[in-house]
Amino acid sequence: MPAGEQQIADSTLAGAPGQLGDPAGGQVQVKAPAGHYRITARLARPWAPDQPVKTVEIDLVMR
């Protein structure tokens, strides 16, 4: 993360409990001074952290 930017929380929102393959979502909270930031979020399995299954680019504008 760039200087001054801080990740506050990272959580997972799971679908119906107990079912394999259920879709899941998540949220990330950040704290940063005013400015424009580009965040790259990667969804990766714990056993393959260098092989993300999905990458998302987020344009963050803090005012």
Residue span of the structural domain in which 35 resides: 6-62
Closest CA to 7 of 22, 26, 23: 26
CA 57, CA 38: separation in Å to the nearest integer? 7
- Please indicate, yes or no, if residue 1 is contained in any of the structural domains: no
- Please indicate, yes or no, if residue 58 is contained in any of the structural domains: yes
- Please indicate, yes or no, if residue 51 is contained in any of the structural domains: yes
Query: Considering its fold, how many domains does the chain have in total?
Result: 1
Q: Specify the pLDDT at position 22.
A: 55
Write out pLDDT tens, residues 14-41.
555 555 555 566 677 788 889 998 988 8
- Please indicate, yes or no, if residue 15 is contained in any of the structural domains: yes
- Please indicate, yes or no, if residue 52 is contained in any of the structural domains: yes
- Please indicate, yes or no, if residue 34 is contained in any of the structural domains: yes
Q: 30: buried, middle or exposed (CB in 10 Å: 19+, 13-18, 0-12)? A: middle
Whether this prediction's pTM lies above 0.95 is answered by no
- Please indicate, yes or no, if residue 26 is contained in any of the structural domains: yes
